[in-house]
Amino acid sequence: MTTSSTDELQLEYRPFSVRLERPLRTGHGSIESRDGFLVRVTEADDGGIDSPTGRPVGFGEATPLSGWTESYADCKGALEQAQAAFQAGGPEAALEAVDERSAARHGVTLALADFQARRTATPLYRYLGQGPMVARIPVNATIGDGTPADTAADAARAVADGFRCCKLKVGARSVSEDVERVRQVRDAVGPEVELRVDANESWTYDEAGTAIEHFADFEVSLLEQPLPAGALEGHATLRGNGVPIALDEGVLEHGVDAICRAGAADAVVLKPMALGGVDVARRVAAWVTELGVVPIVTTTIDAVVARTGAVHLAAAIPDVPACGVATGDLLAEDLARDPVLLENGSAVVPQTKGLGVEGVWTE
């Protein structure tokens, strides 16, 4: 564990690793565990455990993911720099010491936001958005790669559990196999369930066009990142052919302005860990909404602190569609009890002070 402090506040971080229940296959490869850092902000004279005297305590999580954020080693180095800057100049200096789009910044900003929201006795989503009370947000089930029969069975179980939106990972198999997987899922869940498909940059333009022809027949509501992130014009050309297009990796590579100028997306996927914090993601969501593009919040398969932060972020976005924040069941273990209840295809937003995550920091 590493600690730094100012006259009023103290910043600490410690490493963690949590295993996935089973490897998650995506177009980028297989994810088996999530390794990152838990971040904590307390008053400097706090006793070093979870809010021991009722004083505010804020938690953050910095969980890098290859291809999306800095490396684990770079994240650790950035947190070391943030620690030194925090000790010398406080929170603003700490944030200036880390890259804007980094998992390290996400961890520090989330801990600071949680601290301030607890201090003002405000749920984090209202601290972020200053809007009305939000009881719950819609969520989607994430269905990993598998055989057509296994994929259909997983989707059917998700619908039986109350989900009304399923997002299927594709791209690890041939287009024809993925089309068959989507067909069997549609047959299994019926016409009323929303289906989204995430290709993770796996297809060529011709492959994407072929997939879209079939997906339109299956009433797929959104095709996420079918082409490599650099192909803005290709994504723009794919739009308007029966299946709306969402960009995910493309958001990080190009930014919102370039995407909207190119007319490359109907929706954008916002991962707060990759964008550098819930504060950055909240600003991006407001901006794209003004431009007529739909924001969708997802996680990078995070532990409970960042996952709960993503729920609060989604709750701070007016009329948010189903979001990919119901990913806790992908983990075999976690840092603490999950304060977010999932029921009937929605996440019940914690209404306690701050994040609502407790018992996460033990000595």
206 is in an annotated binding site: no
Active-site position among 76, 167, 271, 353:
271
Strand, helix or coil for residue 195: strand
248 annotated among ligand-binding-site residues:
yes
Inter-CA distances, 70 with 66, 112, 130, 188, 202, Å: 7, 21, 31, 39, 22
Asked if 169 is an active-site residue, the reply is yes
Contact of 206 with 238, CB cutoff 8 Å: no
Which of 313, 336, 302 shows the shortest CA–CA distance to 114? 313
Contacts of 50 (CB under 8 A, 6+ apart): 57, 358, 359, 360, 361, 362
Cβ distance 126 to 292 under 8 Å? no
Tell me the three state secondary structure of residue 363: coil
| Side-chain-side CA neighbours of residue 192 (13 Å) | 4
Please enumerate in sequence order all residues whose Cβ is within 8 A of that of 216, keeping only pairs 6 or more positions apart, or say none. 241, 242, 243
How far is CA 278 from each of CA 31, 260, 323, rounded to the nearest angstrom?
23, 22, 14
- Ligand-binding site membership of 74 (annotated): no
Bind-site residues: 198, 224, 248
Bind-site residues for Mg(2+): 198, 224, 248
Which active-site residues does the annotation give?
Answer: 169, 271
